[in-house]
């Protein structure tokens, strides 16, 4: 049964514009690791309304025991911030999502920090930065591995069309960077 990776989250998990490849493909295909993407654009982590927690029992949890080793990669948070969540709420919702997936049987949980985007208005960029501090500190010990995307200058430049084709979503070049950061963080 081997190893299986599930990538769950928001629209950054899916292929960038032009049908180019996802960061998951660039990370796991060269390693020969099976993976599935279970992402829904425009959703948030919590369990109110259109959310990732609500679809997880159908789209994510069945894979938790589908292999001898299962890893969950979490990528999201932008929509939560745009919906008005505080940094603490974003982190708490991520923790609740991770804890529920671990209870279903996922062995390793990886969380990517939230990248910037040009859609942030008002204090949303401050909330994103504060949420990332909470994710990296991970006081609840919910994430086995944290991948800090904010340490890469190219991923922090959401106005650069080489890396963000629309100011929000990653380009082919950005998914290559994310794949390299993720590969370096994995055991």
Domain count, the chain: 1
For the whole model, what pTM was predicted?
Answer: 0.94
* Rounded Cα gap, residues 52 and 42, in angstroms: 10
The pair of structure tokens assigned to 73 is 């990669």
Give the residue numbers spanning the domain of 72: 3-185
Q: What is the pLDDT of residue 40?
A: 79
The pair of structure tokens assigned to 79 is 């929509």
- What is the CATH classification number for the domain harbouring 38? 3.40.50.1110
pLDDT in tens, 164-182: 988 998 988 999 999 999 9
DSSP assignment of 125-179, as one string?
HHHHHHHHHHHHH-TT---SEEE-GGG-TTTT-TT-TTTBSSSSSB-HHHHHHHH
- Name the pLDDT band for 17 (thresholds 50, 70, 90): low
């Amino acid at each position: 049964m081997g190893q299986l990776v599930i990538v769950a989250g928001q629209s950054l998990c899916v292929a960038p514009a032009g049908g180019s490849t996802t960061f998951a493909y660039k990370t796991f295909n060269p390693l020969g690791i099976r993976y599935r993407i279970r992402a829904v654009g425009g959703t948030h982590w919590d369990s109110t309304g259109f959310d990732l927690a609500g679809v997880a029992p159908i789209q994510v949890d069945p894979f938790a025991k589908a292999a001898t080793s299962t890893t969950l990669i979490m990528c999201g948070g932008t929509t939560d911030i745009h919906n008005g969540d505080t940094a603490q709420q974003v982190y708490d919702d991520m923790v609740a999502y991770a804890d529920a997936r671990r209870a279903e049987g996922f062995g390793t949980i990886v969380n990517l920090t939230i990248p910037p985007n040009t859609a942030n208005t008002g204090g949303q960029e401050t909330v994103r930065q504060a949420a990332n501090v909470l994710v990296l500190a991970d006081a609840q010990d919910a994430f086995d591995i944290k991948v800090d995307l904010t340490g890469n200058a190219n991923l922090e430049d959401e106005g650069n069309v080489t890396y963000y084709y629309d100011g929000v979503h990653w380009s082919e070049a950005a998914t290559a960077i994310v794949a390299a950061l993720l590969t370096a963080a994995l055991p």
